[in-house]
Amino acid sequence: MTPKTAKTENGRTSPTAPDQAPAIEMLNTYSLRPCPENEKIYRRITLDDPAVQELAEKIRIYGVDPIRVSLDNFIISGHQRHAAAKILRLKKVPCLRVNIYRGGDEDDDPSPEWLKLLAAHNTQRIKTRTEMMNESLIQISADDAYSELERYRWEQGKVKAETIKIGKRGRRKRISAEKQEMAQALLKIVNDNEHFWPLSDRAIHYRMLNRPPLRNTKNPQSRYRNDTASYKDTCDMLTRLRLSYKIPMHAIADPTRPTTIYNTYSNTRAFIEDELKNFFKGYRRDLQLTQPLHIEVVAEKMTVESIIKPVCRKYNIPLTIGRGYSSLPPRADIASRFKQSGKQTLLLLILGDLDPEGVSIGETLLQSLREDLYIYNAEAVRIGLNQEHVQRFGLFDNSGEAKKSSARYKKFVKKYGTKVYELEALSPEQLQEILEESIQRVIDRTAFEAEIDEEKKDWHFLTGIRSQVSDVLKEMLAEGGGECS
């Protein structure tokens, strides 16, 4: 059927009364073209959007509703369904043809009628106030709607404050052929340890010492070693590898520079759906409840937190990162948790560097708990890094020299010698193994397994309650309309 057309000001033709073809067609998912104007009116749709991922799961179970497309395969309604279909790798999706051409390429401006049609087909969509404003602008005038929309977005995007002026900066150098051996070594370490992402620069530095590459293949004397120059080279290379998209940004973390963000929602419906999805899923039974000892883990460095936290979580054992010698607040928190536990004895499992300061952390912490906070029935066990681990895991090449400036230098050298080893010299698997073994040695395994069995029963009970309550809340939401903004 030939659509009715009318001349616009720029001489292009566009339908005045598009008709809906009733037949459903199965079209190639990747032949459909997202409408460029969709992002100008609504938010950008991305595959990592939680709403799109949730929609993909629903489509996987219930199937996908038809997507409305133009005669030249531009999507009119169903951009989120199209994105969800890509997540599911669906080769074809059901489509309904709307008897209209958008015309031109993605970069060409559409007719005002096309913009009106796009807004009309998205009336059921949950929108932000900005999106609703964009739709209103389109309805102002068919002739200048698009220019009004662009002008509005431009005005809204202006920064009403004095901005920082920047000077010129030299281009960051590309990774040369001479640095490729080192680059490949870094890539292998990062990819092989994906299970422990995010990694720290220092942890990767110590992994490099196991099979040290040449830092520059033109210089046979540039073999990677445990020194400042090699470490700085690793930091620089990791930056360049991330900026060139060889390594994902989230694979490397800097825990010393925390960022604060807030969990927000564009409307109340999205919040309610999120809450229902996670309803009654935060329950954890106190697996240490029937243990005779109150056990806590104290680690010297933030760089190992992501590695040891899963082990502590498995046993529900509190973890404190001291960042060297713990300050008073975390020490007081340990004392408070112990008192609340009602247990007879506090046992601290200490993880720290094998150096003058690292080996004294447990002793200093224990002294403070006893003398400052009056926790006399407290004990501590240094579980790593110990000399036995140097032998066991072959860490000889990862050593440094003890600092003579340390007040504890003589005492350390007398007992351990001059070689020092950092906690990061252990691989993530080795560190987890040490912690797991240490916990297993001090807990009552029978009592722990009994608590695991009780937790399974708890989850079975809560799942039934969750199902009943969720159904009631969903009905209330449906009766309320759910069109919250």
Estimate to the nearest angstrom the gap between the alpha carbon of 391 and the chain centroid: 36
Do 147 and 197 fall within a single domain?
Answer: no
Q: Are residues 325 and 376 part of one domain?
A: yes
| 274: in domain | no
**Cα separation of 433 and 429, whole Å?**
6
> Do 305 and 418 fall into the same domain?
yes
Residue 122 confidence (pLDDT): 64
The answer to which of 143-152, 179-188, 438-447 has the lowest mean pLDDT is 143-152
pLDDT bracket for residue 22 (50, 70, 90) = low
The pLDDT value recorded for residue 240 is 94
pLDDT of residue 12: 41
Q: What would the mean pLDDT of 412-440 be, rounded to a whole number?
A: 95
The CATH number of the domain where 437 resides is what?
A: 3.40.1360.10
Per the domain annotation, does 90 fall within a domain?
Answer: yes
Write the pLDDT tens digit of every residue in 28-47: 999 999 888 777 666 778 88
Q: Does residue 183 surpass a pLDDT of 80?
A: yes
Does residue 110 belong to any structural domain of this protein? yes
Question: Residue 172: inside a domain, yes or no?
Answer: no
Least confident of 44-48, 133-137, 142-146: 133-137
Q: Is the pLDDT of residue 481 over 60?
A: no
Mean per-residue pLDDT of the chain: 85
Q: What is the pLDDT of residues 281-330, one digit of tens each?
A: 889 999 999 999 999 999 999 889 989 999 999 999 999 998 878 889 99
Token couple for 220 = 């046979």
Of 195, 229, 251, the position where a domain reaches its end is 251
Using 50, 70 and 90 to split pLDDT, how confident is the model at 10?
A: very low
- With 0-12 CB in 10 A as exposed, 13-18 as middle and 19+ as buried, what is 482? middle
Is there a contact between 233 and 182 (Cβ–Cβ < 8 Å)? Answer: yes
Average pLDDT over residues 341-349: 97
360: domain range? 293-443
User: Letter for the amino acid at 163?
Assistant: T
Residues 146 and 187 reside in one and the same domain: no
Same domain, 32 and 77: yes
Tell me the mean pLDDT in the region 119-128.
59
Task: Identify whether residues 92 and 215 lie together within a single domain.
Answer: no
Q: Which residue has the higher pLDDT, 230 or 165?
A: 230
Q: Are residues 109 and 205 in the same domain?
A: no
Residues 82 and 207 in one domain: no
| Same domain (yes/no): 137, 193 | no
How sure is the predictor about 14, in pLDDT bands with cuts at 50, 70 and 90? very low
How many domains are contained in the chain? 3
- Token readout for 156 is 């809204």
Chain segment 451-460, per-residue pLDDT in tens:
999 999 999 9
Rounded CA-CA distance 346/377 in Å is 6
Q: Residue 339 falls within a domain, yes or no? A: yes
Task: Classify 384 as helix, strand or coil.
Answer: strand
Does 224 fall in a domain?
yes
Res. 465: pLDDT tops 60: yes
389 and 310 both lie in a single domain: yes
What does the pLDDT read at residue 11? 40
Residue 192 lies in a domain: yes
The residue type at 189: I
Q: Tell if the pTM clears 0.75, that is, is over it.
A: no
Rounded CA Rg of the chain? 31
Whether 44 and 127 share a structural domain? yes
Residue 8 reports pLDDT greater than 50: no
pLDDT of residue 119: 72
Give yes or no: residues 438 and 298 share one domain.
yes
Domain-embedded: residue 383: yes
Which three-class secondary structure string do you get for 310-379? Answer: HHHHHHCCCEEECCCCCCHHHHHHHHHHHHHHCCCEEEEEEECCECCCHHHHHHHHHHHHHHCCCCCCEE
